[in-house]
Amino acid sequence: MADEKKKEEKPAKAAAKAPAAEKGAVKVLGAPKGAAAPAAPAAPAAAPGVAPAPEKKIKPSARHMGSAKSARRKLRKKKSQIQARRKKEFTYRGHSMEELLKLPFADIIELLPARARRTYIRGLNIEQEAFVKRLRRSEGRPVRTHRREIPVLPEFVGKTVHIYNGKAFQPIDIKPEMIGHALGEFAMTRKSVKHSGLGVGATRSSKFMPLK
């Protein structure tokens, strides 16, 4: 009896497994057995003249690994990165260096500060005029001068001047940023004082120290 019951249970289990495998298949009426189900209809194409649907914006947390807070921090850091700065062209009162060299002397004087403008309007003395003439004739050679009060003109740029500072002649290369300033501003006559340590006898503790 037990053997007969086992034989009857086996075909019943096989019949139960068969419909479970065919759950995903769509049953078509009137189709022959074993035929595949027809494919699903394709999505209709967008009509001409109709704008496509806007793409969804990706959140910062989806673009970067980690939390949303770390993603926002990375975005801020990327925006704040300093890019290589281009060298800014020098201009003096809205004029480039090439334009300054082409301007007549009367127009250049009007661009200078009041002190420098007054110096050239009143006229240079004999020593100052001699220095300006020597500087114009110098072709790359340095020019010495004691005249520290002469204001720098655009035509002086690129020249080398040895300016007397009270002790020696200090070499100065004239740059565009010096226009309108006096030559003496770039050759200092004073030095910063630097104190050394205390000497022997300066304090009571070192009063009776033997000299080495």
Domains of the chain: 91-186 (3.30.860.10)
Two tokens at 147?
């005249």
pTM (global) more than 0.75? no
Residue 77 in contact with residue 95, Cβ under 8 Å? no
pLDDT at 166: 93
How many CB atoms sit inside 10 A of residue 201's CB?
Answer: 11
CA distance 99 to 96: 5
Q: What is the pLDDT averaged over residues 58-65? A: 51
Q: Is the pLDDT of residue 6 over 60?
A: no
How many CB atoms sit inside 10 A of residue 182's CB?
Answer: 17
CA distance 162 to 148: 10
pLDDT at 205: 72
Two tokens at 131?
């220095």
Q: Is the pLDDT of residue 204 over 80?
A: no
Residue 166 in contact with residue 185, Cβ under 8 Å? no
Q: What is the CA radius of gyration of the chain?
A: 46
pLDDT at 192: 86
Helix residue spans in the chain (DSSP H): 2-21, 60-63, 68-79, 97-102, 105-111, 114-122, 126-137
